[in-house]
Structure 1
Amino acid sequence: MNKKGIVLMLGVSLVMATGAAMLAKNWMHEQGEGDAVSDMAQVVVATLQIPFGQTVQASDLRMVELPPKAVPEGSFSEIEKVVGRVSNQVIYPGEIVLEGRVAEHMGGSALAAILESGKRAMSVRVDDVVGVAGFLLPGNRVDVVSAKSNGNNRNVTSETILRNIKVLAVDQIASQERDGPVIVRAVTLEVDPRQAEKLVEATQEGKVQLTLRNPLDQEDDKDDFMTAQRSNMGVAEPKAVSEPTPQPVRAAPVGRQVHIIRGTQQSSVSVRN
């Protein structure tokens, strides 16, 4: 075989080897993409903004694909599991819907679905002063101050009877989105049964005033926190226990020995002061 034949055979072999390598590479790439697509997870996200206290509709939702490791805990994989629930916070477009952001709606009004376990919704009639000049929004926290008149307008006593109470709605609006202050006629608060009783008593005996709290004010001071809890539960402040007055210690009597001599006999007698 001459030199030209050997070179031709080597060239053909090289071309065939290169072609085989390219085919193998393309096949592996396709297999890898197929595995990646099959491993993607389906997650429910919001298509539109879902206001606070609104029942979620199918048109508010859509599905997106995410890598399994990027799927947050508490998310939904089916739209049907979210439809009919009530949002307890504002959910924005493109946001992944989490279980803690929507509450089960077991019937009745949507407001009942967002109440915490053991809590009640109670409305209080307000005016522009009691309602903090219209700046109250659902989700705010307030303190309730009770003012009573003791038969004389100049003799008025006031007391903070409830602390850190959540506002559920103002008038019939449960949405947290509002452009400016609006004067309302009623505010709905989230209270437990004992707090509801105190609030009714306060409204019957005098007037109540709402004070808006800073959302970052968590009452870090332990004494203030315990005072607030006792106030909410209607428990009286514990009375200070005075320590007993120490009694003076009396010194033990000092004994003395008296020696008595009678003739040849001697005896001793103890004598106390």
Structure 2
Amino acid sequence: MSNKKVLLLALFCGLMTAIALNFYLKSVQESVTNVKTKSVAVANARIPEKTLITANMVTMKDIPAEYVNSHAVSDMSQVVGSTARAEIEAGEQILDTKVVKIDSDRQSLAYSIPLGMRAISIKINEQTGVGGLLKPGDRVDVLGTVEVEIFSPDPNVNTTREIKTHVLLQNAEVLAVGTDIGEPKAEGEKNSASASAGTVTLAVPNEKTQLVAYMASKGDLYLTLRAPADNSIEDRPSIDSMELLK
């Protein structure tokens, strides 16, 4: 084959390759431009739990529809002015299950209860409620003092009454103090005074709710405030007058 024919064949093959590559690039571009997207609210930065969400924390972003969560919020007004029920990471799609309107108190309290726990309210005063200084989010131990009948060592007396103090709960979370559930307040709105609250609502393990309710009806409950970093759990037996005399 002459050099001229070889050159013409090479040019023809190059032309066919260029045409094929052009068709491929066009098909890729069409597939990209034809992707269906949906505009959803995305966090600009990490939003901690129980944070009032403002406009500068959120942006609307177009995301391929196949990657959009079914609970993703597509309306900015549903997010701004709401409170984060749980932590939202930077770049994360904001889900309607993670935000709550600030005026939806009942719903907000329900979503603040940890899984496996129940919210139960107990009466307090300045003595039993740490001087009225408790705030939602604090951690407390719950002590129960009750009068019980025990067998008497005196053969002439069948039973005697004894006051015992038990540790009912350790490291329980305070969900609410009175009606204050710890939600961020709008500008100019004042927090209610916890000192005047007559109840505290605690997150209690489901299996402990009956014990707390029974002790509240039969005796007195006292709350002891923990340091924020103290998560210790101790084996603490009940105390009675005989223990105090030792």
TM-score (normalizing by structure 1): 0.46
Query: Matches of residues 1-273 of structure 1 in structure 2 within 5 Å?
Result: 6-7=5-6, 9-35=8-34, 38-105=35-102, 107=103, 112-116=106-110, 124-125=124-125, 138=137, 144-147=142-145, 156-158=163-165, 166-169=173-176, 174=182, 188-190=200-202, 206=220, 208-210=222-224
Over 3 Å counting, the alpha-carbon distance change for 1:166 and 1:21 in structure 2 is same
Superposed displacement of residue 62, structure 1 = 1.7
- Kept in 2, the 8 Å contact 1:75–1:97? The answer is yes
- Kept in 2, the 8 Å contact 1:46–1:60? The answer is yes
Superposed displacement of residue 115, structure 1 = 1.6
Over 3 Å counting, the alpha-carbon distance change for 1:24 and 1:174 in structure 2 is same
- Kept in 2, the 8 Å contact 1:165–1:189? The answer is no
- Kept in 2, the 8 Å contact 1:41–1:71? The answer is yes
In structure 1, what residue type is equivalent to 2:68? V
- Kept in 1, the 8 Å contact 2:41–2:75? The answer is yes
Gaps of 5+ in 1: 176-183, 218-273
Per-residue CA deviations over 1:143-187 (Å, capped at 9, x if unaligned) read: 63333589xxxx633357789965225797838xxxxxxxx9678
Q: Which residue of 1 aligns with 2:236?
A: none
In structure 2, what residue type is equivalent to 1:59? N
**CA–CA distance in structure 2, aligned partners of residues 91 and 126 of structure 1:** 37
In structure 2, what residue type is equivalent to 1:47? N
> RMSD of the TM alignment (CA)?
5.0
**CA–CA distance in structure 2, aligned partners of residues 74 and 139 of structure 1:** 31
Secondary structure in 2 matching 1:13: helix
Secondary structure in 1 matching 2:144: strand
TM-score (normalizing by structure 2): 0.50
Over 3 Å counting, the alpha-carbon distance change for 1:23 and 1:40 in structure 2 is same
More contact order relative to length (CA 8 Å, sep ≥ 6):
2
Gaps of 5+ in 2: 112-117, 149-161, 184-193, 234-246
Per-residue CA deviations over 1:11-42 (Å, capped at 9, x if unaligned) read: 4433432331222122122223223xx33444
Secondary structure in 1 matching 2:110: coil
Over 3 Å counting, the alpha-carbon distance change for 1:8 and 1:52 in structure 2 is closer
- Kept in 2, the 8 Å contact 1:75–1:99? The answer is yes
Secondary structure in 1 matching 2:109: coil
**CA–CA distance in structure 2, aligned partners of residues 122 and 59 of structure 1:** 40
Superposed displacement of residue 191, structure 1 = 7.8
